[in-house]
Amino acid sequence: ERPVFFAANNGREPFFVYLVALSVTILGRSPGAIRIVAALLGTLTIPATYLMAKAMFNRRIGLLAAAITGLTLWHVNLSRIGFRAVAMPLLVALALWQLWLGLKDGNRRHFLAGGLLYGLTFYAYLAARFTIVALGVFALYLILVGSWKLEVGGWRHGALTFVLAALVVLAPLMVYVATHGDAFLGRVGQVSIFNPAINEGDFWGTLLRHAGKTLLMFTNRGDFIPRHNVPFRPVFDPVLSAFFLLGLILCFIRFRQRA
């Protein structure tokens, strides 16, 4: 039996688990056998980020994005402690790389590969479920500014290929969700802002506070849990924070110009 989801410990996606099982089989039961999997995934994320950013922008941006990824404390830390979440950025970067190549040249093989990789992302970490919203917003942005290079018909066929490929990979997990919904959604319900224990009867106030903290984590105040971060250290150092804010301003200006 090879479960597609492990219900124990608030639920665990299988991608990292099976890689660790392979590592333990080869190296034996030790912390190193777990950490080496995370380290390899984290290391592979750097060239994957390069490929993604190069496809979306150019080689220079790809190199900068890869360098920032490799030097950012959060990524370095999570790539060393054996935490399954480190698999998600790798798979997302590879999926977006192939998706963007498909948008540029219309080759359905890219859409197919992107969809397969995106479907696999849902087996890596629970936060992948929310990337659907991010992709939807991004697609809306492309539609508004007309940034895709395919004709509408080609874009639609490619998008359909991407979605169908993702659904094929997701099918076993979807069957599990249909029969074990409580186990699959339990952790999300615990930490959701819709949980009364979290919002304490003030949904909108809690939403605004959490949104503010999330926006400030890049430059002002980051995660306080020592497992994830130097407590309260922001994602970026002062120099990168300045460039990050400048980049946001430029993005806003260019969006208005295109609109």
Quick: pLDDT tens for 128-179: 888 999 888 887 877 776 655 555 556 778 889 999 999 999 999 989 888 8
Which is more confident, 214 or 182?
214
CB within 8 Å of 205: residues ≥ 6 apart: 199
What average pLDDT score do residues 104-112 get? 90
What average pLDDT score do residues 114-118 get? 97
User: How far, in Å, CA of 194 to CA of 252, rounded?
Assistant: 31
Which is more confident, 63 or 134?
63
3-state secondary structure of 101: helix
pLDDT at position 144: 73
pLDDT at position 6: 82
The position carrying tokens 């066929």 is 157
Helices (H), 79-224: 87-105, 108-121, 131-145, 152-179, 181-191, 196-199, 203-216
3-state secondary structure of 12: strand
pLDDT at position 153: 53
Of 18-22, 82-86, 178-182, 233-237, the one with minimum mean pLDDT is: 178-182
CB within 8 Å of 35: residues ≥ 6 apart: 80, 81, 82
Cα–Cα distances in Å, from 183 out to 12, 13, 128, 177, 212? 10, 11, 17, 8, 30
The DSSP code for 85 is G
